[in-house]
Amino acid sequence: AQTVTQSQPEMSVQEAETVTLSCTYDTSENNYYLFWYKQPPSRQMILVIRQEAYKQQNATENRFSVNFQKAAKSFSLKISDSQLGDTAMYFCAFMTSYSGNTPLVFGKGTRLSVIA
Amino acid sequence: SAVISQKPSRDICQRGTSLTIQCQVDSQVTMMFWYRQQPGQSLTLIATANQGSEATYESGFVIDKFPISRPNLTFSTLTVSNMSPEDSSIYLCSVGPGLADYEQYFGPGTRLTVT
Protein backbone atom coordinates (compact mmCIF):
# COMPACT_ATOMS: atom_id res chain seq x y z
CA ALA A 1 0.00 0.00 0.00
CA GLN A 2 1.11 3.51 -0.71
CA THR A 3 1.72 5.95 2.11
CA VAL A 4 2.36 9.68 2.10
CA THR A 5 4.12 11.43 4.95
CA GLN A 6 4.16 15.14 5.69
CA SER A 7 6.38 15.72 8.68
CA GLN A 8 5.57 19.41 9.26
CA PRO A 9 2.13 19.86 10.87
CA GLU A 10 2.46 23.64 10.86
CA MET A 11 4.70 26.23 9.24
CA SER A 12 4.77 29.98 9.00
CA VAL A 13 6.47 32.37 6.62
CA GLN A 14 6.75 36.09 6.24
CA GLU A 15 5.00 37.67 3.32
CA ALA A 16 7.26 37.79 0.20
CA GLU A 17 9.60 35.14 1.60
CA THR A 18 10.09 31.58 0.37
CA VAL A 19 8.93 28.45 2.17
CA THR A 20 9.38 24.76 1.45
CA LEU A 21 6.91 22.07 2.51
CA SER A 22 8.16 18.50 2.77
CA CYS A 23 6.56 15.29 1.56
CA THR A 24 7.84 11.75 1.33
CA TYR A 25 6.02 8.73 0.04
CA ASP A 26 6.39 5.00 -0.14
CA THR A 27 5.46 2.87 -3.11
CA SER A 28 6.65 -0.10 -5.11
CA GLU A 29 5.16 1.32 -8.28
CA ASN A 30 7.35 2.79 -11.00
CA ASN A 31 4.72 4.95 -12.70
CA TYR A 32 2.65 7.26 -10.56
CA TYR A 33 1.60 10.85 -10.08
CA LEU A 34 2.15 13.27 -7.24
CA PHE A 35 0.11 16.32 -6.35
CA TRP A 36 0.00 19.22 -3.98
CA TYR A 37 -3.47 20.40 -3.06
CA LYS A 38 -4.33 23.55 -1.17
CA GLN A 39 -7.35 23.75 1.13
CA PRO A 40 -8.17 27.27 2.33
CA PRO A 41 -10.75 27.90 5.08
CA SER A 42 -13.47 27.68 2.43
CA ARG A 43 -12.53 23.94 2.42
CA GLN A 44 -12.46 23.77 -1.39
CA MET A 45 -9.62 21.51 -2.52
CA ILE A 46 -7.52 23.35 -5.11
CA LEU A 47 -4.83 21.67 -7.18
CA VAL A 48 -1.58 23.59 -6.84
CA ILE A 49 0.83 21.51 -8.87
CA ARG A 50 1.34 17.98 -10.17
CA GLN A 51 4.28 15.84 -11.21
CA GLU A 52 4.45 12.73 -13.32
CA ALA A 53 6.98 10.26 -11.93
CA TYR A 54 8.35 9.45 -15.38
CA LYS A 55 9.36 13.08 -15.91
CA GLN A 56 12.72 14.05 -14.50
CA GLN A 57 12.08 17.77 -14.88
CA ASN A 58 10.56 19.36 -11.82
CA ALA A 59 7.13 20.90 -12.32
CA THR A 60 6.61 24.63 -11.89
CA GLU A 61 3.46 26.75 -11.78
CA ASN A 62 4.17 30.44 -11.38
CA ARG A 63 5.33 30.90 -7.76
CA PHE A 64 5.02 27.20 -6.99
CA SER A 65 7.65 24.61 -7.81
CA VAL A 66 8.53 21.13 -6.68
CA ASN A 67 11.73 19.28 -5.93
CA PHE A 68 11.01 15.73 -7.04
CA GLN A 69 13.63 13.18 -5.99
CA LYS A 70 12.36 9.83 -7.25
CA ALA A 71 15.10 7.68 -5.75
CA ALA A 72 14.61 9.29 -2.36
CA LYS A 73 10.81 9.24 -2.78
CA SER A 74 10.66 12.88 -1.89
CA PHE A 75 8.34 15.55 -3.30
CA SER A 76 8.71 18.96 -1.67
CA LEU A 77 6.79 22.12 -2.56
CA LYS A 78 8.47 25.50 -2.72
CA ILE A 79 6.37 28.62 -2.56
CA SER A 80 8.21 31.76 -3.62
CA ASP A 81 7.16 35.33 -2.87
CA SER A 82 4.59 34.10 -0.35
CA GLN A 83 1.29 35.95 -0.29
CA LEU A 84 -1.37 36.24 2.39
CA GLY A 85 -3.71 34.25 0.15
CA ASP A 86 -1.36 31.29 0.36
CA THR A 87 -2.48 30.73 3.95
CA ALA A 88 -4.13 27.30 3.89
CA MET A 89 -3.72 23.60 4.58
CA TYR A 90 -1.48 21.94 2.02
CA PHE A 91 -1.85 18.25 1.26
CA CYS A 92 0.60 16.09 -0.63
CA ALA A 93 -1.14 13.31 -2.56
CA PHE A 94 -0.23 10.22 -4.55
CA MET A 95 -2.01 8.40 -7.37
CA THR A 96 -1.04 5.23 -9.20
CA SER A 97 -3.39 5.12 -12.15
CA TYR A 98 -2.56 6.59 -15.53
CA SER A 99 -6.16 7.59 -16.07
CA GLY A 100 -6.98 9.34 -12.83
CA ASN A 101 -9.62 6.77 -12.15
CA THR A 102 -8.08 5.64 -8.92
CA PRO A 103 -8.35 7.53 -5.67
CA LEU A 104 -5.74 9.78 -4.18
CA VAL A 105 -3.77 8.89 -1.08
CA PHE A 106 -3.20 11.97 1.05
CA GLY A 107 -0.65 12.97 3.63
CA LYS A 108 -1.79 14.46 6.91
CA GLY A 109 -1.27 17.99 5.71
CA THR A 110 0.77 21.05 6.63
CA ARG A 111 -0.94 24.16 7.90
CA LEU A 112 0.82 27.17 6.37
CA SER A 113 0.39 30.65 7.76
CA VAL A 114 1.68 33.64 5.81
CA ILE A 115 2.39 36.54 8.12
CA ALA A 116 2.21 40.15 7.02
CA SER B 1 -12.06 20.28 -16.22
CA ALA B 2 -15.10 19.27 -14.19
CA VAL B 3 -17.35 21.40 -12.02
CA ILE B 4 -18.84 19.63 -9.03
CA SER B 5 -21.63 20.74 -6.73
CA GLN B 6 -22.66 19.19 -3.45
CA LYS B 7 -25.85 19.50 -1.44
CA PRO B 8 -26.25 20.36 1.34
CA SER B 9 -23.21 22.52 1.98
CA ARG B 10 -23.65 22.01 5.71
CA ASP B 11 -26.11 20.48 8.12
CA ILE B 12 -26.61 19.90 11.81
CA CYS B 13 -28.28 16.59 12.60
CA GLN B 14 -29.38 14.70 15.66
CA ARG B 15 -27.80 11.39 16.55
CA GLY B 16 -29.61 8.37 15.25
CA THR B 17 -30.84 10.10 12.10
CA SER B 18 -29.54 9.80 8.53
CA LEU B 19 -28.39 12.38 6.00
CA THR B 20 -28.06 11.98 2.25
CA ILE B 21 -25.42 14.07 0.49
CA GLN B 22 -25.75 14.70 -3.22
CA CYS B 23 -22.89 15.16 -5.68
CA GLN B 24 -23.55 16.51 -9.17
CA VAL B 25 -20.94 16.80 -11.93
CA ASP B 26 -21.28 18.93 -15.06
CA SER B 27 -19.87 16.21 -17.32
CA GLN B 28 -19.98 12.44 -17.56
CA VAL B 29 -17.31 10.69 -15.51
CA THR B 30 -16.51 7.05 -14.92
CA MET B 31 -15.45 7.09 -11.33
CA MET B 32 -16.63 9.13 -8.38
CA PHE B 33 -14.95 9.04 -5.00
CA TRP B 34 -16.26 9.88 -1.56
CA TYR B 35 -13.85 11.12 1.11
CA ARG B 36 -14.27 11.97 4.77
CA GLN B 37 -12.25 14.69 6.45
CA GLN B 38 -12.57 14.63 10.23
CA PRO B 39 -11.89 17.89 12.08
CA GLY B 40 -8.29 18.96 11.60
CA GLN B 41 -7.44 15.78 9.75
CA SER B 42 -6.57 14.69 6.24
CA LEU B 43 -8.87 13.14 3.68
CA THR B 44 -9.72 9.46 4.00
CA LEU B 45 -11.33 7.54 1.17
CA ILE B 46 -14.71 6.06 2.06
CA ALA B 47 -15.58 4.37 -1.23
CA THR B 48 -15.29 4.40 -4.99
CA ALA B 49 -18.51 4.58 -7.00
CA ASN B 50 -18.59 3.26 -10.55
CA GLN B 51 -21.80 3.73 -12.50
CA GLY B 52 -23.80 0.56 -12.83
CA SER B 53 -22.05 -1.42 -10.14
CA GLU B 54 -21.84 -1.64 -6.38
CA ALA B 55 -19.56 0.85 -4.69
CA THR B 56 -16.22 -0.43 -3.43
CA TYR B 57 -15.62 0.41 0.24
CA GLU B 58 -12.33 0.96 2.00
CA SER B 59 -11.37 -0.85 5.15
CA GLY B 60 -13.29 0.56 8.09
CA PHE B 61 -16.28 1.70 6.05
CA VAL B 62 -19.34 -0.47 5.42
CA ILE B 63 -22.30 -0.22 3.13
CA ASP B 64 -24.87 -0.33 5.92
CA LYS B 65 -23.38 2.80 7.46
CA PHE B 66 -22.50 4.64 4.24
CA PRO B 67 -24.77 3.47 1.43
CA ILE B 68 -23.90 4.99 -1.94
CA SER B 69 -25.92 5.30 -5.10
CA ARG B 70 -24.58 6.01 -8.58
CA PRO B 71 -27.60 6.08 -10.90
CA ASN B 72 -25.85 7.74 -13.84
CA LEU B 73 -22.54 9.18 -15.02
CA THR B 74 -23.09 12.64 -13.53
CA PHE B 75 -24.61 12.00 -10.11
CA SER B 76 -24.00 10.14 -6.86
CA THR B 77 -25.31 10.19 -3.32
CA LEU B 78 -23.71 9.22 -0.03
CA THR B 79 -25.92 8.53 2.98
CA VAL B 80 -24.55 8.71 6.50
CA SER B 81 -26.83 6.40 8.49
CA ASN B 82 -27.66 6.20 12.17
CA MET B 83 -25.37 9.10 12.87
CA SER B 84 -23.30 9.63 16.00
CA PRO B 85 -21.14 12.62 16.99
CA GLU B 86 -18.12 10.72 15.63
CA ASP B 87 -19.58 11.17 12.14
CA SER B 88 -19.12 14.93 12.40
CA SER B 89 -16.83 15.64 9.44
CA ILE B 90 -16.56 17.21 6.06
CA TYR B 91 -17.63 14.86 3.29
CA LEU B 92 -16.20 15.49 -0.15
CA CYS B 93 -16.86 13.92 -3.49
CA SER B 94 -14.33 13.94 -6.27
CA VAL B 95 -14.13 12.73 -9.83
CA GLY B 96 -11.44 11.50 -12.14
CA PRO B 97 -12.10 12.72 -15.65
CA GLY B 98 -10.29 9.99 -17.51
CA LEU B 99 -7.43 9.30 -19.85
CA ALA B 100 -6.99 12.78 -21.26
CA ASP B 101 -6.61 14.44 -17.90
CA TYR B 102 -5.48 12.63 -14.80
CA GLU B 103 -6.34 15.50 -12.50
CA GLN B 104 -9.01 14.83 -9.90
CA TYR B 105 -11.54 17.51 -9.09
CA PHE B 106 -13.28 18.03 -5.80
CA GLY B 107 -16.66 19.27 -4.77
CA PRO B 108 -16.93 22.04 -2.17
CA GLY B 109 -17.68 19.54 0.59
CA THR B 110 -20.54 19.05 3.03
CA ARG B 111 -19.88 19.99 6.63
CA LEU B 112 -21.85 17.69 8.90
CA THR B 113 -22.27 18.23 12.62
CA VAL B 114 -24.01 15.58 14.67
CA THR B 115 -25.33 16.57 18.09
8 Å CB contact between A51 and A66? yes
Confidence of residue A56 (pLDDT cuts 50, 70, 90): confident
Provide, as residue numbers in chain B, all residues whose Cβ is less than 8 Å from the Cβ of A109.
41-42
Interface of A with B (CB under 8 A): 33, 42-45, 47, 50, 91, 95, 97-109
* Structure confidence by residue, pLDDT tens digits, B4-43: 999 999 999 999 999 999 999 998 888 899 999 999 899 9
With cut-offs at 50, 70 and 90, classify the pLDDT of residue B67.
very high
- Whether A104 sits inside 8 A of B104 (CB atoms) is yes
A80-112: per-residue pLDDT in tens?
A: 999 999 999 999 999 886 555 678 999 999 999
- Contact (Cβ atoms closer than 8 angstroms) between residue A116 and residue A85: no
Residues of A in contact with B102 (CB under 8 A): 33, 50, 95, 97-100
Query: In a mutagenesis test of the A interface, which of B106, B110, B112 is the best target, namely the one with the most A β-carbons within 10 Å?
Result: B106
